[in-house]
Every structure is written in structure tokens, then in C-alpha cells.
Amino acid sequence: MQHRKVVSALLLCAIATVAPPAWAIALFELTPSQCAVDEGDCSVRVTLAWQAEVQQSVCIEVLGESEALYCDLPASHTAWSLDISSSSDVEFRLLGQDNLPLASVSLRVLHIPKRKPRQRAAWSLF
């Protein structure tokens, strides 16, 4: 019985070392990660870059969209640029071959109101 447990444990260790997890991503970045606007939509060209510990083809999707933004990127492809126009934050997800999320990054849209020039008083005490 003891011998059978040892063999089972060794077999599990061998399987675990042969098949690394699909989520093994070392890096997923978005440049720029913020966009500041005073009013309206933020329009910016962003670059998504990733580096996987295991080469595999991936898909990129925008959270909340019904379809993947871009799919079947080859394993050697590690960056992708696109133009974004949005009035709210945008979250990108990197999906593996099995459509499970590997990583995510967000573009933050910052609404900064215009500063109004200081009104000069029409009267003075002096």
C-alpha cells in the first residue's frame, strides 16, 4: 500500500512539471495606462504588450464587449497597438487558447475639469 502511494505521488509530480498552467504569464502591460480629458471622450493609441512563460496563441478582449477584440495572435506575437475612444475606463483581458483569462490591464480615463480663470474684481478698496 505504501509503495502505491509513492508511485501515485511521483506520477502526479511528473504530470505537474510537464504541463505548466495556462495562466503562466510573466508580463501584461498597457501603454499609456491613463488618459486625461476635460470633457468628452478620451482618444488615444494604446499598445498592449505581453510576455508568456509558455508560448501560445492568445486573444485580446475588452471586458463588457460581446466578441474578442482580436484573436488567434500567433505565439511569437507579443505586442499589439490600437486606437481607443472612450469616456470611461477600459479593461483589456488576455485570453489563452482555452479562452480562460491569463491577465488583465486597464486604461483609466481621468476627467479633469478645465480651470476657470480667476475673475478680477471690478472694484477695489484702494
What's the pLDDT score for residue 106?
A: 96
Helix (H, G, I), strand (E, B) or coil at 61: strand
Beta-bridge partners for 95: 59, 101
Given the DSSP bridges, would you call strands 34-37 and 25-31 parallel, antiparallel or unpaired?
Answer: unpaired
- Tally Cβ neighbours within 10 Å of residue 48: 21
> Is residue 83 a contact partner of residue 47, using CB atoms and an 8 Å limit?
no
pLDDT band at 33 (very low <50, low <70, confident <90, very high): very high
Residue 117 DSSP class: P
Structural domains of the chain, with CATH = 24-111 (2.60.40.10)
Reported as a single tens digit per residue, the pLDDT across 91-117 is 999 888 788 888 899 999 999 888 777
Beta-bridge partners for 109: 35
